[in-house]
Amino acid sequence: MRSRAFSLALCAVSAFLACVAATPPSRAGTVTFAVGGAPAEFAYWERVVRKFEGKTGIRVELLRQPTDTGLRRQGLTVPLQARISSPDVFLMDVAWLAQFAASGWLEPLSPHLGKEGCAGKEAFFLRMIDTVDTYEGGVVALPVYVDGGLLYYRKDLLGKYGLPGPPRTWDELLRYSETVQRGERRSRPGFYAFAWQGAQYEGLVCDFLEFAGPTGGFRVENGEVTVDTPQNRKALRFMRDLIGKYGVSPPNTYTEMREEEVRSFFQEGYALFERNWPYAWPLHEGRDSPVRGKTGIAALPGWSQGEGAACLGGWHAGISRFSDAKPESVKFLCYLTSYETQRDLALHLGWNPGRRDVYAAPELLAKNPHLPALRAVFENARPRPLLPYYSRLSEILQRHLSAALAGTSTPEEALSAAGREMQAVVTRYR
């Protein structure tokens, strides 16, 4: 009888070990690169990876992440907190770079810059490298592509209604929207003049900062949060009225409208204006796109002329401190930020490269005449506050902005409530 109990225990343990071992291992020396899920993005990265493998013989595996920035961040914080080697290289939203750096998850890159095939610091937007990509003196990430909010507009519709050109102020945008929408609604009932990101996620905070303009937004100085300002209230009221009072933005703006929903809404011809990132340009110009050739790009309007503010976005690449393939990852990161890759990035995806010199590439200028204008935008685009707990503050702001847009609270209530909550978080993390 003793032997039976022993054999039972033995087979239980072995079954358990089998179940641990049964999980397919990841091959050493392989670089896992986590990327987003925007349409052409994945196909492009596959080409970059094949080329890199061809040149260096280092195997790179792509890990596809959802497009929702909140889910992408969780997809990285969980493995990093668990000190897991995969993913080795990953793209980070500029909003959460500070948290990743402060948490000690990023491999220092300064020692590798400017050596064997790696670009030096000066190849990038210096102001951005020093503020966003540097932590405690060392460079911990490199911008792969830079983003700034842009205004897309239907050149044909503006012409049709005799409007001179893209609006330079929000009031102009509103006037143009109302006239064109009244006309277009007759033929297309689902037509809404202005589509922008209103769903409750990081994108909403970006749009809000752009509506608030250079003097708006929120700051944290020596433990004090300022967000409940007249400028912010005006912007939030305006955003809510675009949906409610003026009805020039679709009702599901604050529930479903994210980057991709806005892009397809504009691309299917339901809108006059679209606020989106530069990635939308090549898609609008795509072969079977209904708005091909009818779309123009302009800087976002402001409350007074020339005062538009592009929310600095973009994705920076970093290497995990727990990676088990650091040398290979450094080589891959340098390849990502090489002149050729950055140029192809702009060509195929229409994303704006993180390197300054690529903006002068002749083949790009031909395809994308407004590149120099974009470079100027990026030189002084405003980064969101660089705080390790930025995402906590942003979550609070998202909640209240969304509540204001949904009408569950007034803009004043939303901003003062957001201010109180954000202050509580700041004091807790001092």
Partner 1 sequence: MGEDRSFRDLLRGYSFIAPLVAILLAFVFVPVVGTCIDSLYREVTFLPRAFIGLGNYQSLASDPGFRQSLRFTVLFVLASVPLELVLGLSFALLLHRPSPARGALRACVLIPWAVPAAVSGKVFELICNFQYGLANYLVQRIGLTDGPVNWLGSTGGAFFALVAGDVWKTAPFVAILFLAGLSAIPEDLYRQAAVDRAGPVQRFARITLPLLRPVFVVALLFRTIDALRVFDLVFVLTRGGPGGSTTSLSLYGYDAFTGGDFGYGSAVSVVLFLIAFTLSVAYVRIGRFGRELS
Partner 2 sequence: MNGERRIGMLHLAGAVAMTIFCLGPIVYMALTAMSHRPDFLAPGAGFAFTAAHFLEVLRTESLHFPEYFRNSLVVSGFSAAFSVSVAAPAAYAVTRLAIPGRVAVLFAVLAVSMFPQVSLVSYLFKLMSAMGWINTYAALVLPYTAWILPLSLWILTSYFSRVPRDIDRAALVDGCGPLEALWKVIVPVAAPGIFSTALLAFIFAFNELLFALMLTTDHRARTIPAGIALFEGLHGETPWGAVMAAATLTVVPVVALTLVFQRRIIQGLTRGAVKE
By CB under 8 A, name the one of 30, 226, 255, 380 that touches partner 1: 255
> Which residues in 380-399 contact partner 1 (CB under 8 A)?
388-389, 391-392, 395-396, 398-399
User: Which residues have a Cβ under 8 Å from the Cβ of 265 and sit 6 or more positions away?
Assistant: 192, 195, 250, 257, 271, 274
Q: How far is CA 331 from the centre of its chain?
A: 25
**Phi and psi angles of residue 118, each rounded to the nearest 5 degrees, phi first:** -100, 140
Nearest-approach distance from CB 111 to partner 1, in angstroms: 23
* For partner 2, the closer CB: 65 or 249: 65
User: Which residues have a Cβ under 8 Å from the Cβ of 194 and sit 6 or more positions away?
Assistant: 173, 177, 242, 248, 249, 271, 272, 273, 274, 275
> What is the Cα–Cα distance from 302 to 35, expressed in whole angstroms?
33
* For partner 1, the closer CB: 255 or 380: 255
- For partner 2, the binding residues (CB under 8 A) are 1, 4-5, 12, 15-16, 19-20, 22-24, 26, 32, 37-39, 42, 62-68, 71, 74-75, 78-79, 81-84, 86-87, 258-261, 264
Q: How far apart are the first and last CA of the chain?
A: 63
**Phi and psi angles of residue 32, each rounded to the nearest 5 degrees, phi first:** -100, 125
Tokens of 43: 């196909």
> What is the Cα–Cα distance from 54 to 50, expressed in whole angstroms?
6
Tokens of 124: 């990038």
Count CB neighbours of 389 within 10 A. Answer: 18
DSSP-H helix ranges across 22-38: none
Indicate which of partner 2, partner 1, none lies near residue 102 (CB less than 5 to 8 Å, by partner kind): partner 1
Indicate which of partner 2, partner 1, none lies near residue 322 (CB less than 5 to 8 Å, by partner kind): none
Nearest-approach distance from CB 399 to partner 1, in angstroms: 4
> What is the Cα–Cα distance from 299 to 301, expressed in whole angstroms?
6
By CB under 8 A, name the one of 40, 84, 298, 406 that touches partner 1: 406
> Which residues in 76-105 contact partner 1 (CB under 8 A)?
77-78, 80-81, 99, 102-105
* For partner 2, the closer CB: 43 or 424: 43
Indicate which of partner 2, partner 1, none lies near residue 406 (CB less than 5 to 8 Å, by partner kind): partner 1
* For partner 2, the closer CB: 263 or 355: 263
Options 30-38, 291-299, 315-323, 413-421: segment touching partner 1 (CB under 8 A): 413-421
Binding site for partner 1 (CB under 8 A): 5, 12, 73-74, 77-78, 80-81, 99, 102-105, 200, 251-252, 254-256, 388-389, 391-392, 395-396, 398-400, 402-403, 406, 408-409, 417, 420-421, 424, 428-429
